């Protein structure tokens, strides 16, 4: 199985469970914290038209639409899109949900004020080409917000693996159980994560350099926003791979 097929199979299999996790997140106070962080960089008065790449079960379309943004969400996995549409109906919000890949966007140049993604860019097979495509559909002065982490660097960096194992031990000691999202991966899922191109690079420095090379301006990064947008359990489980936020503006 090639990597593209592995990505699509993985997210198809995980769509229902991922959707349940997102609904738990939506019922917590975390959406308010997400909105506060997002509006710090793209206030709705100036960045109303948003493209969510890799929308999954629709987390960003739901929380952003409720706040007055106009959101288009795309995903390459039909099963995820089905979950997104059901969740939009459940939470009584409206957004445009489309089947498309983040590596080849079906939109005209300069179409959006903001592009946002979370936990997506590590799954891209050609991330530099994807970022170039994202900049194409972004209007001049528009911004890209990338939320991601070095999720799979542990497979290629012994020190990160040690930190990951220590975090897993601490989680068991505190809560008396394993963090299921980490420990329920199949061998096939582990293998595809290990072999993804972005698993081998150290981020967010790679993203910063790449966006700079592509001509983005005013690039900034918060290297750890985990305490702002994750609950306690997730912060402990993923302590070795904190979530970063990369923000880049189109010239």
CATH number reported for the structural domain that contains residue 27 in this entry: 3.40.50.150
Whether residue 135 is predicted with pLDDT greater than 70 in this model: the reply is yes
Region 218-226: mean pLDDT is 98
73 vs 7: which has the higher pLDDT? 73
Mean pLDDT (the chain) is 95
Query: Where do runs of H (alpha helix) occur along 138-183?
Result: 158-175, 180-183
Tokens representing residue 129 in the block: 């080409």
Q: Rounded mean pLDDT of 83-93? A: 98
Burial class (CB in 10 A: 0-12, 13-18, 19+), 182: middle
Bridge-based pairing of strands 112-118 and 49-53 is: parallel
Q: Could you tell me the two tokens for 45? A: 């008065």
**What global pTM score does this model have?**
0.96
Question: CB–CB of 54/120 below 8 Å?
Answer: yes
Within 8 A by CB and 6+ apart from 39, the residues are: 67
Question: Quick check: 25 and 59 in contact, CB under 8 A?
Answer: yes
Summarize the confidence of residues 84-113 as an average pLDDT: 98
The pLDDT value recorded for residue 132 is 98
Residues in CB range of 229: below 8 A, 6 or more apart: 30, 33, 34, 37, 147, 243
Check residue 25 and give its pLDDT: 97
Q: How confident is the model at residue 9 (pLDDT cuts 50, 70, 90)?
A: confident
**Domain count within the chain:** 1
Instruction: Specify whether the backbone of 218 is left (phi greater than 0), alpha (psi in -120 to 50) or beta.
Output: left
Boundaries of domain holding 100: 3-249
Distance CA 94, CA 96 (A): 7
Q: Whole-angstrom Cα distance, residue 249 to residue 219? A: 7
For 67-91, what is the mean pLDDT?
Answer: 98
Tell me: the pLDDT tens digits for 166-220? 999 999 999 999 886 655 677 888 888 999 999 999 999 999 999 999 999 999 9
* Three-state DSSP state, 180: helix
Separation CA 147–CA 116 (nearest Å): 8
Give the residues across from 241 on adjacent strands. Answer: none
Distance CA 95, CA 98 (A): 10
Per-residue pLDDT, 4: 83
């Amino acid at each position: 199985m090639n990597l593209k097929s592995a990505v699509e199979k993985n997210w198809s299999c995980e769509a229902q469970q991922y959707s349940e996790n997102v609904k738990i997140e939506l019922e917590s106070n975390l959406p308010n914290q997400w909105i506060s962080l997002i509006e710090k960089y793209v206030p709705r008065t100036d960045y109303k038209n948003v493209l969510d790449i890799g929308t999954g079960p629709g987390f960003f379309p739901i929380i952003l639409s409720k706040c007055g943004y106009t959101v288009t969400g795309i995903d390459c996995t039909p099963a995820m899109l089905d979950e997104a549409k059901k969740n939009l109906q459940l939470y009584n919000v409206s957004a445009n949900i489309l089947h498309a890949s983040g590596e080849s966007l079906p939109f005209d140049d300069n179409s959006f004020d903001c592009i946002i993604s979370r936990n997506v860019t590590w799954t891209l097979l050609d991330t530099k080409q994807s970022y170039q495509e994202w900049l194409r559909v972004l209007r001049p002065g528009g911004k890209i917000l990338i939320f991601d982490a070095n999720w799979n660097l542990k497979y290629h960096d012994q020190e990160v693996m040690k930190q990951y194992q220590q975090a897993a031990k601490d989680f068991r000691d505190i809560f008396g159980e394993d963090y299921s999202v980490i420990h329920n991966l199949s061998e096939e899922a582990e293998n595809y994560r290990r072999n993804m191109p972005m698993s081998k690079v150290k981020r967010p420095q790679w993203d910063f350099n790449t966006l700079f090379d592509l001509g983005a301006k005013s690039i900034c990064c918060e290297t750890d926003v985990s305490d702002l947008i994750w609950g306690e359990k997730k912060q402990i489980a993923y302590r070795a791979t904190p979530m970063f936020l990369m923000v880049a503006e189109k010239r």
